[in-house]
Amino acid sequence: MSQLPTDARIEQAVAALARGELVGVPTETVYGLAADAGNPEAVRRVFALKGRPSDHPLIVHIADASWLSQWADPVPETALALAAAFWPGPLTLVLRRARGVPDAITGGQDTVALRAPAHPLMQAVLRGLGHGIAAPSANRFGRISPTTAAHVRAEFGERLPIVLDGGPCAVGIESTILDLSGAHPAILRPGAIGRAQIESVIGPLVEPEAASRPRVSGALESHYAPTCPLRWVDAAAIDALLVAPENLQGALVLRCGGSIDPAHGMTLPDDAVGYAHGLYAALRSLDARVPASILVESVPDKPAWAGVRDRLRRAAVRA
Ligand code: TXA
Ligand code: MG
């Protein structure tokens, strides 16, 4: 189907969604496993294909802020201000759900997560369908999120015949999730839109009280994990190992900046944007070499790195 012209591929994806089928779609963060959010049967297929527990709520993707009121009630001023600043883009807002939003989407909670994605193909699919699209990351539950169409095909193969190829995802890690449904706004999942950017629009955030927050499947331990063990190692220890690579004993290294012999691992840029862009593809390709473990060189402990550090920390947790 990638031979079809772009308009025909978009039409094919929209038609499949309208029939209640699932489609792999590109977004600027990671690829999504899309279903018509208004069709509970289609949404149930998402959980079945992912192998995801059905009480984990899904993000509803919308074309722009004018669609918010179909899904959320009330739509607070803070949501509109953030949407004006960051949509379309990698920011998800958790709001009180409007009447009629299916339980299949919200996991039975009284809130709904909403995001207007920036990828032009996803925008075209949303406008073609004319309705919200539920889309978790297009990976099997607990596995590394896909950032290329090939990753999506590797996850689901024949069980997901239509994958809309939009090239590698620009951002590379999942959206920032901001909860606006409670007394105080709180970041539930860090991402490319950082805390300081959010605070520049809605003022200072109160520290979250973890226990009182809604469920976030991304907040479960052992998420985004490769199949082999992953460990954080500081730069000095990595340097020492690479001087005497026999000491790696079958481990592969993911460096942050600098160079490495490809036989011993890979390197990612030492800026947070470049690192996030390449992270999941790097973890997939290292994991595919079936190393004894992946040694990840520690990354800077700075605000710009919050999203990357969060994903690495989860990937390092073993079930
Ligand atoms: O960048 C992204 O957000 C990607 C792309 C495809 O848009 N999507 C994504 O979806 O990461 P998923 O399902 O893998 O992660 C969605 C997260 C989960 O951790 C889920 O628990 C949380 O959003 N979530 C969804 N609805 C929620 C709600 N009502 N309250 C709190 N968290 C919610
Ligand atoms: Mg996910």
- Whether 211 shows a pLDDT value over 50: the answer reads no
**226: nearest Cα among 192, 204, 193, 254:** 254
- Read off the tokens for 72: 């959320």
* Among the listed residues 108, 78, 107, the one whose alpha carbon sits nearest the alpha carbon of residue 95: 78
The last residue of a domain, from among 212, 245, 273: 212
Nearest CA to ligand 1 atom 13: 136
Assess if residue 54 is contained within a domain.
yes
Q: Quick one: which atom of ligand 1 is closest to the CA of 58?
A: 25
253 and 165 share one domain: no
Residue 33's closest CA among 112, 143, 111?
143
**Based on the structure, what is the number of domains in the chain?**
2
Is the model's pLDDT at 219 over the cut of 80?
no
What pLDDT is stored for residue 216 in this prediction?
Answer: 54
Q: Are residues 208 and 249 in the same domain?
A: no
Same-domain pairing of 87 and 159: yes
Q: Would you say residue 223 lies in a domain?
A: no
Structural domain including 65 reads 6-212
Q: Is 180 exposed, middle or buried (0-12, 13-18, 19+ CB in 10 A)?
A: buried
Residues 207 and 94 in one domain: yes
Number of residues written out for the chain: 319
Residues 259 and 113 in one domain: no
Ligand 1 centroid from CA 120, angstroms = 20
Q: Which of 97, 39, 38, 86 is nearest to 64 (CA)?
A: 86
Together in a domain, 164 and 138: yes
- One domain, residues 104 and 241: no
In this structure, are 19 and 157 located in the same domain? yes
pLDDT band, residue 5 (cuts 50/70/90)? confident
The confidence score (pLDDT) of residue 318 equals 55
State residue 4's pLDDT score. Answer: 82
Task: Return the pLDDT at 222.
Answer: 47
Spatial contact of 8 and 150, defined as CB atoms under 8 Å apart = no
Q: Provide the CATH number for the domain around residue 145.
A: 3.90.870.10
Please give the Cα distance from 256 to 266 (Å, whole number).
Answer: 9
Calpha distance 114→290 (Å, rounded)? 37
Q: Of 52-61, 82-91, 222-231, 308-317, which gets the smallest average pLDDT?
A: 222-231
Residues 206 and 264 in one domain: no
| Structural domain contains residue 113 | yes
- Average pLDDT (292-318) is 93
Which residue from 25, 55, 58 has its CB within 8 A of the most atoms of ligand 1, so it is best to mutate? 58
| Residues 208 and 237 reside in one and the same domain | no
Distance of CA 219 to the CA centre of its chain: 12
Both 189 and 47 in one domain: the answer is yes
Q: Give CA–CA dist 100/117, Å, rounded.
A: 23
Q: Can you give the pTM of this predicted structure?
A: 0.94
Q: Kindly report, residue by residue over 245-290, the tens digit of the pLDDT.
A: 999 999 999 999 999 999 999 999 999 999 999 999 999 999 999 9
